[in-house]
Amino acid sequence: MHLLSIIDLVVRFRTHDGTVYAVNGVSLDLDEGEKLGLVGESGCGKSVTNLAVMQLLPKPAGKIEGGQVVFQGQDLLSLDESEMRELRGKEIAMIFQDPMTSLNPVLTIEEQMVETIRAHRRVSKSEARARTLELLNTVGIPQPEARLRNFPHQFSGGMRQRVMIAMALALEPKLLIADEPTTALDVTIQAQVLDLLQRLAAEQGTALILITHDLGVVAGMTKRVNVMYAGFVVESASTPDLFARPRHPYTVGLLHSMPRLDAQPGEPLIPIEGVPPDLRRAPVGCPFAPRCAWRVEKCWTAMPPLDPIDATQEIVTTGPNATHRIACWNPVTPEEAVAARPLRAGFAPAAHPTETVS
């Protein structure tokens, strides 16, 4: 049994200017202690997927319209709010890009950490305080004793994220979801925070879902990756496999469009043309088709399933031997992945179907 299974999750937002098709059938499994990266551009449904797991979708607009979320054998979608509250923090914790969204600005760090611990554990105030102190120490807050009485705004961005990590790990959750935890930080502080996350998750055996748009962070922090686009998982593989043999045109595009520190001088960037899709349109066909150099006719009309690259392979969904899967009608070949363009003689991307929508 997996620690977490998301099965065919569909999440939509009903807003006054229409439906937002935010998550369109996402499935993933996660084992205990596993480190999974969720990568993709902003708006592709990374946060919404995880908010759905936590049942923290903004109400009433955001609704889970299909699928299942199974955590430790329990169907989370059947739990009521008080049962979910019990689970949050204790079993599954989440940290966000902006820690201020989850820290209470009018409570001191001591007050909120003690409260969090005592909400889930039968311990005295002084025990909770001692644990708080120990945690602040672990996450590298200088002079933790003095800092206990500070309010969140009295910490720098990096220090605040450390406090968040301390709170998230206070109850030794089985799963930590880190949503762009370092996106707002300088690289130097990012290195501190990622190092801390890595160390603590390893010590506690916590499973990690790391959400980021930075493929460099994914490479260093995770063992498995799901690449998302427009509310779909479009490529899924072990981290080494994904970087060595990317097969989806979007993944290949991402890898070539960011400058690398270790690139050869003068190496050109190959951007992905066009813009990310508007999720207020119901998905028809492959969502990447309008930007894709590999597209064929079928891409305009049918969404490709997330299938193994090698069709004869039995599907393994977790662990280092996870099956490499892509959702693409015309996979990129290894040579094309290096060149970042189709190399087949006479191939041209299928023309836009005669415009019927305006």
Partner 1 sequence: MAAQPSPNRDVPGTSNAASGAAPLLQLTDLQMYFPVTSGVLISRHVGDVRAVDGVSLSIQKGETVGLVGESGCGKSTVGRTILRLYRPTGGRIVFQGQDITTAEGSTLRSVRRRMQMIFQDPYASLNPRMTAAGIVSEPLEIHGVGTGRERRQRVRELLATVGLDPDYGDRFPHEFSGGQRQRIGVARALALHPDLIVADEPISALDVSIQAQIINLLERLQGEFGLTYLFIAHDLSVVRHISDRIAVMYLGRLVETATSRELYERPLHPYSVALLSAVPIPDPTIEGRRRRIILTGDVPSPSNPPPGCHFHTRCWLRARLGNPERCVEEQPALREMASGHAVACHFAEEVEGSPEQVLQISGESSGGSVTATAATAATPPAPPAPTQGSLPAGPSAPQRPVPRPRERS
User: Which residues of this chain interact with partner 1, rule CB under 8 A?
Assistant: 41-42, 140, 142, 156, 158-159, 186-192, 194-196, 198-199, 202, 213-221, 239-240, 243, 253-263, 265, 267-273, 275-276
> Min. distance of Cβ 227 from Mg ion in angstroms?
15
Q: Does 157 bind ligand ADP (CB under 6 A)?
A: no
Residues 19-78 that bind ligand ADP (CB under 6 A): 20, 22, 40, 42-48, 58, 61-62
30 vs 185, beta carbon nearer partner 1: 185
Identify any residues that bridge with 108 across adjacent strands, giving them in sequence order. none
Cβ neighbours of residue 170 under 8 Å, at least 6 residues apart? 89, 113, 116, 117, 131, 132, 135
Dihedral through CA 319, CA 321, CA 323, CA 325, nearest 10? 80
Neighbours of 157 (CB within 10 A): 16
Binding marks (x or -) toward ligand ADP, 241..280, rule CB under 6 A?
--------------------------------------x-
Q: Evaluate whether 58 touches 15 at the Cβ level (below 8 Å).
A: no
Size of the site for ligand ADP (CB under 6 A): 16
Nearer to Mg ion, 129 or 213 (CB): 213
Residue identified by tokens 């999440």 is 11
The pair phi, psi for residue 118, each rounded to 5°, is: -75, -20
42 or 156: CB nearest ligand ADP: 42
C-beta closer to ligand ADP: residue 287 or 304: 287
Applying the rule CB under 5 A, the residues between 142 and 171 that interact with Mg ion are none
Closest CA to 71 of 30, 42, 102: 30
Q: Tell me how far, at minimum, the Cβ of 269 lies from partner 1, in Å.
A: 4
Does residue 88 sit in helix, strand or coil? strand
Nearest CA-CA partner of 210 in 200, 16, 198: 198
Smaller CB distance to partner 1: residue 159 or 233?
Answer: 159
Min separation Cβ 207 and Mg ion, Å? 19
Name the minimum Å distance from CB 175 to ligand ADP: 18
Closest distance between ligand ADP and the C-beta of residue 234, in Å? 13
Contact of 228 with 45, CB cutoff 8 Å: yes
Residue numbers 36-55 binding Mg ion by CB under 5 A? 47
- Enumerate residues 6+ apart whose C-beta is below 8 A from 217: 37, 182, 190, 194, 210
Backbone φ, ψ for residue 27 (5° rounding): -125, 135
Tell me if 95 contacts ligand ADP by CB under 6 A. Answer: no
**Shortest Å distance, C-beta 230 to ligand ADP:** 8
Query: CB of residue 338 vs partner 1: minimum separation in angstroms?
Result: 14
Instruction: Return the half-sphere exposure (C-beta side, CA atoms, 13 A cut-off) of residue 316.
Output: 12
Instruction: List residues near ligand ADP by CB under 6 A.
Output: 13, 15, 20, 22, 40, 42-48, 58, 61-62, 279
